[in-house]
Amino acid sequence: MNRIAIIPARGGSKRIHRKNIVDFEGKPMIAWTIEAALNSGCFDQVLVSTDDEQIAEASKAAGAAVPFLRLENADDHAPASQATISALKQAEAHWETRFTLVAQLMPNCPLREASNIQDAVRHFTTESLSFQISCFKFGWMNPWWAVQLSPDGSPGRMFLEAAEKRSQDLPPLYCPTGAIWLANRDNLLAADTFYGPDHRFFPMEWQAAVDIDDMEDLRMAKAVARMQDQGRA
């Protein structure tokens, strides 16, 4: 298989200024994703798709290929999948090749490691899937107990059937994460999304799945990274 990992990283992040290259434990955040992809050994190309010259330079320094800047889907409203599909088409034209497996690795998931990518790709290929979305199991923040609050603070339960059950009697619920999305190239182009027909979820540990969108997420991710470092010491 001719495999490509695409890391979509636009320059106009709002909630954390210059998020994709903000310092994360001594390196630009995007460098962690690039290194994980390279160290996994799963891909023939590790491509960063960006509209930003500074992100491009940081990505090249970390070992990624950035042979072109993004031509479209670089605004706040463009889904990451659309940016990845555009980058795939640019990459195939640039390298004059046709990729068969496409991975989308979001740069705001710096705690995902090479072994997580290897596990995901192995499952995807062994099961002959068309689409695979990474996810993690909810833990202590049990969504079965979720409520909506009215202006006066009155709660409205989202899952009435769970109101009288113990947590251990409730089935687990899962949340998607941008850490590792995989697709067959032809199916991805046909569906125009990773959430294509018969897509499957693949669970991973929540620590590896952390998505960083705002400063609170960033502080939590740094705390998790330091705890993991202490555990390895």
pTM summary value: 0.93
pLDDT above 90 coverage of the chain, percent: 82
The per-residue pLDDT for 147 is 94
Could you read off the pLDDT of 170-216 as tens digits, one per residue? 999 999 999 999 999 999 999 999 999 999 999 999 999 999 999 99
Chain centroid offset of residue 181 CA:
7
The per-residue pLDDT for 74 is 58
CA-CA distance, 144 to 39, in Å (whole number)?
Answer: 38
The per-residue pLDDT for 168 is 87
pLDDT average, residue stretch 20-48:
97
* Choices 3.40.50.11030, 3.40.50.300, 3.40.50.720, 3.90.550.10: CATH for 3-138+174-232: 3.90.550.10
Going from the C-alpha of 31 to that of each of 7, 53, 111, 123, 190, the distances in angstroms are 11, 15, 11, 25, 31
Q: Is the pLDDT of residue 12 over 90?
A: no
Arithmetic mean of pLDDT over the chain = 94
Least confident of 125-129, 143-147, 162-166: 162-166
Q: Is 98 left (phi over 0), alpha (psi -120 to 50) or beta?
A: beta
CA nearest neighbour of 94 among 45, 54, 37: 45
Confidence of residue 231 (pLDDT cuts 50, 70, 90): confident
Could you read off the pLDDT of 40-98 as tens digits, one per residue? 999 999 999 999 999 999 999 999 999 999 877 655 667 899 999 999 999 999 999 99
Is the distance from CB of 200 to CB of 157 less than 8 angstroms? Answer: no
CA-CA distance, 115 to 42, in Å (whole number)?
Answer: 10
Question: Domain limits of the chain?
Answer: 3-138+174-232, 139-172
Which residue do the tokens 């994460």 mark?
Answer: 177
Q: Is the pLDDT of residue 15 over 90?
A: no
Three-state DSSP state, 203:
strand
